[in-house]
A and B are shown apart, each in its own frame.
Chain A
Amino acid sequence: MSFIPGQPVTAVVQRIEIQKLRQGGNLILGFSIGGGIDQDPGQNPFSEDKSDKGIYVTRISPGGPAEVAGLRMGDKIMQVNGWDMTMVTHDQARKKLTREKEDVVRLLITRKSLEEVVSQSKGRNPRP
């Protein structure tokens, strides 16, 4: 998941669709995010590359919509509803996720296990 500045970022992503849950007057998704270009990347426990300033999922509330939809702790969010999440500040990311008008968010997330699965499957079934 490291990137070379100036080069396009490639990653294996999974599409996750979360239905927002209305709870007490707010629409919640049921997870917490950390990271952003204005934050300290060295403190991120989930990133491999400690200079990665992307948005990561730091906590999932059990039984919430995010867990139900398949989001896991440590996932890096690449896109939210088409908005890029790799080069945003923490507050911008929060805003994109908590729009009142939308009750569904479609995330593109990536995690290390995805890469492994793909490379394994590639190795097992090499394309001719």
Chain B
Amino acid sequence: MDNESMYSSYSYKSSHSRSSRKHRRDRHYSKSRDGASRGDKSVIIQAPGEPLLDAESTMADERDDNWAETTTVVTGTSVDSVSNEDLTRLSKDLDDSLPVDCRRYISPVFGAILGLFSVITPLAFLALPQLLWRDTLDPCGTPCEGLYISLAFKILILFISTWALFLRPPRAMLPRFFVFRCLLSVLVFLFVASYWLFYGVRVLEPRETDYRGIVGYAASLVDALLFIQYLALVLLEVRHLQPAFCLKVVRTTDGISRFYNLGHLSIQRAAVCVLDQYYKDFPVYNPALLNLPKSILNKKLSSFKVYNLEEENSTNNSTGQSRAMIAATSRRRDNVHNEFYYEEAEVERRIRKRRARLVVAVEEAFTHIKRHQTEESLASSPKHPREVMDPREAAQAIFAPMARAMQKYLRATRQQCYHSMESIINHLQFCIMHSMTPKAFLERYLSPGPTLQYLDNSRGGQWTLVSEEPVTASLRQGQVFCLKRLDFALVVTVMPLPFLRVGEEFVDPKSHKFVMKLQSETSV
């Protein structure tokens, strides 16, 4: 990718990812930089999954520029002071020291530690007086036991819901930290810290004897933790469920577009949602399909090439000549698009012919094979011992007659790079095992499937998010951002969903009456 743009790109400075003052700083920085020109900010999203056609791996370069969720994010403005560049260099050293895979798990580990700490706290509150000054404690009978039971259940519920909500493996590695999650972690941390402070000053030091009060205090902590978890649920999971924006995603190479409804998300989270849908909805990117057939291309290119050369070389007084050249090329172009039309029709006809041959070949091949019922063997065993095969052998047996037709069809539709012979035989074996019809077997080859079908998960799905606004800003109308890959990009435009005014009209079921409306007039 474009390394230079990383260094000169604008980004945000914040001291540590857990700072709750980030929002105020965001606004401050955006105001201060309005005068200067804004470049595109490029940051990287890594999603688990595989790029299908990564020709060369530039991942080594990108890892150096990759900013994980919780590391320092630093400004690099070449216009302003020098100290910022020093900080950039500092953070680069920091990044280099951490190996890549760790970065994926830093944030869940931090979260787990914080969660464990906050759950152990009420138990510690209860246990410490018992351990340290058991003798001087007031005896506390039934009310305490009631509180113990409620405490136990609340902690159990906390555990279960934390496991369900937060202890999931992260699906994507985002360039900037997740604002809400950091906010909540800070909140929990401050909360627990303040409770400990109070506990230390008021209970541990004077050796408070009112044990029931202490148990009540611990119970209130657990209640508050449950409420914080409710807040987390709403902020992280529920708030963005109501759709508010429609995102139009267009692939730059072949113009395939889709529309998705999303709620109020930040740009980076919206990018993750879009990419999730991309792997499922978009047909796989086939670079071979972009080029026009060579015969057309040469003719087109030659006419355009002449045009372009004239444009480049002409300075001022060749306008007359270039006009004549334009007229000539336009006349030639008119003929060329005619040829293009016929050539395209010819290609389509060829594809249809090959497809017909393929379908017939596959159907015939499938008739050679039949599922072997075990009862039959008893009836027909001695006279006609049929060879019993497992699916793999059956697939190999019937692959031969259809191989040629398949190969010609794949070549006609330029899909041959996606399907090796091995993969075809595997798929055939799979279909035979599940008693699929020839049509079901062919479904995979007759239409280009979604990208997910061709993914093998050896490397991560690497995308670069290019946006003019900071990627933690929430979606707004008219925003445009790009998700770049090596050879193509997805351009995403944000449109708000319209406000719906739904009125009401009552229709009396008895009001449905009809009359004949025939009125013909014939002239005789």
Q: Residues on A close to B: CB < 8 A? A: 28-29, 31-34, 38-40, 42-43, 58-59, 61, 90, 94, 97-98
Is the C-beta of B522 less than 8 angstroms from some C-beta in chain A?
yes
Looking at B519, B522, B524, which has the most chain A CB atoms within 10 Å of its CB? Answer: B524
Task: List the A side residues contacting B518 at CB < 8 Å.
Answer: 38-40
Q: Whole-angstrom distance between the alpha carbons of A94 and B522 in the complex?
A: 7
Task: List the B side residues contacting A42 at CB < 8 Å.
Answer: 515
B177 to chain A, nearest CB (A): 75
Is the C-beta of B27 less than 8 angstroms from some C-beta in chain A?
no
Minimal Cβ-Cβ distance residue in B for A66: B524
A65 to chain B, nearest CB (A): 11
Task: List the B side residues contacting A39 at CB < 8 Å.
Answer: 516, 518-520
B516 to chain A, nearest CB (A): 5
Task: List the B side residues contacting A90 at CB < 8 Å.
Answer: 520, 522
Contact of A97 among B516, B519, B524 (CB under 8 A): B524
A56 to chain B, nearest CB (A): 10
Contact of A58 among B515, B517, B521 (CB under 8 A): B521
Q: Whole-angstrom distance between the alpha carbons of A40 and B520 in the complex?
A: 9
* CB–CB A29/B524 < 8 A: yes
Task: List the B side residues contacting A32 at CB < 8 Å.
Answer: 521-524
* CB–CB A28/B520 < 8 A: no
Task: List the B side residues contacting A40 at CB < 8 Å.
Answer: 515-519
Q: Whole-angstrom distance between the alpha carbons of A34 and B520 in the complex?
A: 6
The 3 closest A-B pairs by CB, nearest first: A32-B523, A97-B524, A34-B521
Per-residue A-contact encoding for B484-524, CB less than 8 Å = 1, 0 else? 00000000000000000000000000000001111111111
* CB–CB A98/B519 < 8 A: no
Task: List the B side residues contacting A94 at CB < 8 Å.
Answer: 522, 524
* CB–CB B519/A59 < 8 A: no
* CB–CB B517/A28 < 8 A: no
* CB–CB A59/B524 < 8 A: no
Q: Whole-angstrom distance between the alpha carbons of A29 and B522 in the complex?
A: 12
Further pairs besides A34-B520, A40-B518: 11, Cβ < 8 Å: A28-B523, A28-B524, A29-B524, A32-B523, A39-B519, A40-B516, A43-B519, A58-B521, A94-B522, A94-B524, A98-B524
Please count how many residues in chain B sit with their CB below 8 Å of the partner chain's CB atoms: 10
Q: Whole-angstrom distance between the alpha carbons of A120 and B142 in the complex?
A: 116
Task: List the B side residues contacting A38 at CB < 8 Å.
Answer: 518
Q: Whole-angstrom distance between the alpha carbons of A93 and B521 in the complex?
A: 11
Task: List the B side residues contacting A33 at CB < 8 Å.
Answer: 521-524
Task: List the B side residues contacting A58 at CB < 8 Å.
Answer: 521
What are 20 residue pairs bridging A and B, where the CB atoms are less than 8 Å apart in the complex?
A28-B524, A31-B524, A32-B523, A33-B521, A33-B523, A34-B521, A34-B522, A39-B518, A39-B520, A40-B516, A40-B517, A40-B518, A42-B515, A58-B521, A59-B523, A61-B523, A90-B520, A94-B522, A97-B524, A98-B524
Task: List the B side residues contacting A97 at CB < 8 Å.
Answer: 524
Task: List the B side residues contacting A29 at CB < 8 Å.
Answer: 524
Minimal Cβ-Cβ distance residue in B for A27: B524
Task: List the A side residues contacting B520 at CB < 8 Å.
Answer: 34, 39, 90
Minimal Cβ-Cβ distance residue in B for A96: B524
Minimal Cβ-Cβ distance residue in A for B515: A40
Q: Whole-angstrom distance between the alpha carbons of A32 and B257 in the complex?
A: 58
Q: Whole-angstrom distance between the alpha carbons of A31 and B524 in the complex?
A: 6
Minimal Cβ-Cβ distance residue in B for A56: B521
CB-contacts of B89-105 with A (<8 A): none
Task: List the B side residues contacting A34 at CB < 8 Å.
Answer: 519-522
B20 to chain A, nearest CB (A): 78
B518 to chain A, nearest CB (A): 5
Task: List the A side residues contacting B515 at CB < 8 Å.
Answer: 40, 42
Q: Whole-angstrom distance between the alpha carbons of A94 and B524 in the complex?
A: 7
Q: Whole-angstrom distance between the alpha carbons of A90 and B523 in the complex?
A: 11
Task: List the B side residues contacting A31 at CB < 8 Å.
Answer: 523-524
Q: Whole-angstrom distance between the alpha carbons of A43 and B522 in the complex?
A: 15
Q: Whole-angstrom distance between the alpha carbons of A32 and B522 in the complex?
A: 5
B425 to chain A, nearest CB (A): 70
Task: List the A side residues contacting B522 at CB < 8 Å.
Answer: 32-34, 90, 94
Q: Whole-angstrom distance between the alpha carbons of A13 and B27 in the complex?
A: 97
Minimal Cβ-Cβ distance residue in B for A18: B524
Q: Whole-angstrom distance between the alpha carbons of A39 and B319 in the complex?
A: 74
B129 to chain A, nearest CB (A): 96
Q: Whole-angstrom distance between the alpha carbons of A98 and B515 in the complex?
A: 30
Task: List the B side residues contacting A28 at CB < 8 Å.
Answer: 523-524
Minimal Cβ-Cβ distance residue in B for A29: B524
B35 to chain A, nearest CB (A): 76
A57 to chain B, nearest CB (A): 10
A41 to chain B, nearest CB (A): 10
Q: Whole-angstrom distance between the alpha carbons of A58 and B521 in the complex?
A: 8
CB-contacts of B159-213 with A (<8 A): none
Q: Whole-angstrom distance between the alpha carbons of A27 and B523 in the complex?
A: 12
A76 to chain B, nearest CB (A): 15
A64 to chain B, nearest CB (A): 10
Minimal Cβ-Cβ distance residue in B for A42: B515
A86 to chain B, nearest CB (A): 17
Task: List the A side residues contacting B521 at CB < 8 Å.
Answer: 32-34, 58-59
CB-contacts of B120-166 with A (<8 A): none
Minimal Cβ-Cβ distance residue in B for A105: B524
Minimal Cβ-Cβ distance residue in A for B522: A94
Q: Whole-angstrom distance between the alpha carbons of A98 and B524 in the complex?
A: 6
Q: Whole-angstrom distance between the alpha carbons of A32 and B521 in the complex?
A: 6
Q: Whole-angstrom distance between the alpha carbons of A61 and B523 in the complex?
A: 9
